Every structure is written in structure tokens, then in C-alpha cells.
Amino acid sequence: KALPHLTRKIVPKEVAVGTAMLGVAFATGMLAGKRRPPARTRGGGEGCTLPLSPPGNPLWQYILDHSLREHPILKKLRLITADHPWSKMMVSCDQAQLMANLVKLIKAKKVIEIGVFTGYNTLNMALVLPDNGRVIACDINEDYVKIGKPLWKEAGVEHKIDLRIKPAIQTLDELLASGEAETFDFAFIDADKESYNEYYEKCLRLIKKGGIIAIDNVLWSGRVLKPRKDDLATQSIHHLNEKLHRDARVNISMLPMGDGVTLAFKL
């Protein structure tokens, strides 16, 4: 359900052009390093309704009304993305705010993001990084990212974002090969689910002790309760959830926020 207090912004020309290209980009498919179109309901088109609650639940609306603080350009990008048919792929705004607060809490300077879409969470994290901080943003399709790029520039954080358009596994391997193991503070994983375990393992090598890995969609609209054998995405998420529960290399918290997010704190 759309939030009544949100007002839409004028869409810049560059953004409008990028939006027109999204349909073509989707037709090419999304493989490694990019989310697939979700079959689950992510919540309201504004990217703020929590799907674990009934749509329009006044208590959830109260939570948003009394906790959400959003940079105006971040809000602008969210509202632009909300008009896209695959806006469900955008991280929920309450969850993004938690990610930003965690990044600030640990005084992060180096962040990895796997799965960019239009760059809402990329902007979200870049806004709270110091001026010499950077987000390594991994995706395979630049057409989606073109929606957010003008707003990264408008927010004055474009220089903090290192966009890598190639399979995310390749980027992670390059970072490891260049000696950047245990130099990152935070990682956010929200891409193709079949590769989640591989993303997690490589991020665990790249994150320093005390760093955090946030893994999105760990509840997958409840399908993890009864994964079908032919549903590879759900099977992959479920197996990683079981693995994380036993993984002595990290402490974890699984949160019923958005479509479920697990925070793994590297020991």
C-alpha cells in the first residue's frame, strides 16, 4: 500500500531514458550477480510495506511513520523505482535504513553490494560512508543501474561508488586476487539465489573480523518452510539458512524484516 504522506518527484530526463530501457534489459535475463524477477510479494509499490504483515496493517504503518528517515534524493530514487514493473526487487526502505545504520555503527569504509538493480541501496550506503569510502557495486546489467546513476551524482556520492558490470563471482575473485581479503567492513547480498552460498563464502573471506554480511530474502515469502525439489532458488536459500545456523565463523541474527534478512557478524 502506498504511503499517504509520500509525494512524487519530477523525473529527470536521464532517468526517464533509463526507465524506457528497463524492459529491454529485463528481456536479456538476469544471471550471476543480479536478482531474478521475484515471484513473491515484496510489499507495497513504494518499497516500504513489510510483506510479513497484512497489507495496510496500521501498526506497520505506524512503525514506518515513526522510524523512517530518508534522504530526499534516496526517497526520489525509491519513488522512481516504485513505478517500474519489477520494483519488488528493490530492498524495502526500512531494511535499507537498518543497513545504513549498521554501516555507520561499525564506521565502515569499504562495502560490497551484490545485486544493484536501480541502485537504491547503493545510494543508501554511499550516503553514510566517509568521503574516502567506497561501495563495490556488483551487477551484470547496466541498463537498470542507469535509473539510479543520475541520482548518485545529484546526491554528490558518485565518486564513492565503484560499479562493476560483470558476474559478481568474477568481481569477488578479482578482489581476492588483488590482496583485498579481510579489508572490507560490510557486504550486502541480494542477487541470484542459486549463487548465495558462493557469494557468502567469498564475502566471508573479504570481510574483516567484526565486519557484517547482510543476506536478503532469507524467508523467500515463506517458501523456505517447504522447499520444493524443483525450486532451486528456495532450496539454495534454505540450505544456506541451515548452514548459517551452524556456522561457527559467525554470529547471526535472522530478522523478519522485508523478505527476511540475516545479519552474519564475522568472528
Name which of 251, 11, 258, 32 is nearest 154 in CA terms: 11
Name residue 139's beta-bridge partners: 165
pTM of the predicted structure, to 2 decimals = 0.82
Instruction: Quick: pLDDT tens for 41-70.
Output: 333 335 565 555 556 788 888 888 999 999
C-alpha span between 187 and 228 (Å, rounded): 29
Q: Specify the range with the lowest mean pLDDT, choosing from 9-13, 92-96, 228-232, 259-263.
A: 9-13
Instruction: Quick: pLDDT tens for 139-192.
Output: 998 999 999 999 999 999 999 999 999 999 999 999 999 999 999 999 999 999
